[in-house]
Amino acid sequence: MPCHNGQVTGNGRLVLAGAPIGQAGDVSPRLREVLAGADVVAAEDTRRLRRLAADLGVEITGRVVSYYDQNEAARAQELVETLKEGRTVVVITDAGMPGVSDPGYRLTHLAIEAGVTVTALPGPSAVTTALAVSGLASDRFCFEGFPPRKTGDRARRLTALTREERTMVFFEAPHRLADSLAAMAEAFGPDRPAAVCRELTKTYEEVRRGGLGELAEWAAGGVKGEITIVVAGYVAGAAEHDPDALVAEVDRRVAEGEQRKLAIADVARNAGIPKRELYDLVHRRSTTP
């Protein structure tokens, strides 16, 4: 069913439902309502959906179908036909938002092409949660998903990001964490500030902050759980100067009574770098233990 002048003409409704990343209590009342009232609930893992519904005290009266990586292509076509019939279909993954490193994008694309209403029910996100607790700059960031598994592919991907100025967020499997951190230390430098966030919002939540080299050594001992990595962006210009000396000069001036904003501006001007870059460097050093 086509769209005319940007207006959706389909009668069905696709709801992308954000699932809790650890604590069932983090869900909103709307998720309970949507799960209870949907005609079809497409779940990445139907057993985990049933457990979540039980924890929430929700009775799912609609049809429950599986929707995961291996059957996504075929199932998406089937669900689009259901949406064209005017039904409400809810897509929910094991944790986080469908379509963000999880099944959902293919169905969303087909639903939009079919003129079906597509909406999202916001929920907890490991990406923004890790970014918030990392202590790194969050005004501009990019999500890079899982690094490639093969050593050469991973090195090439990371090399392409060496001058990325935004804070970067990655997902990684625990058994590949040490290798990925070591590769990041090689590409970005062992002193690049980063944070490894493990089991966010869960009982054994842990956030390790430090340079990439230090974090790689820590991870070599073995790490378990769901992992999100946050890496500080490249500070252009500062690499050509001694970062410690720049920060130390700002700290010295502040200790002598100069306003930090003015100290950063003057030191940056003398070093020939944008003051914003030096501000980011000072901020990162002050928030990294």
Using one digit for the tens of pLDDT, what is the confidence trace for 225-243? Answer: 999 999 999 876 655 677 8
The mean pLDDT value for 135-144 works out to: 94
So what's the pLDDT on residue 1? 41
So what's the pLDDT on residue 59? 96
Same domain, 102 and 137: no
Domain span at residue 161? 127-231
Domain termination site, one of 124, 139, 171: 124
Domain termination site, one of 215, 231, 247: 231
pLDDT for 44-97, tens place per residue? 999 999 999 999 999 999 999 999 999 999 999 999 999 999 999 999 999 999
Classify residue 7: in a domain, yes or no: no
Least confident span in 4-8, 62-66, 181-185, 283-287: 4-8
Q: Two tokens at 278?
A: 């030096």
The number of C-alpha atoms within 13 Å of 28 and in the hemisphere containing its C-beta is 10
Q: What is the pTM of this model?
A: 0.77
pLDDT reading at 2 higher than 60:
no
Q: How many domains does the chain have?
A: 3
Measured CA to CA, the distance from residue 251 to residue 264 in angstroms comes to 9
* Sheet containing 167-172, strands listed edge to edge, beginning at the edge strand earlier in sequence: 141-145, 167-172, 227-231, 193-198, 206-211
CA angle 215, 221, 225 (to 5 degrees): 80
Same domain, 208 and 254: no
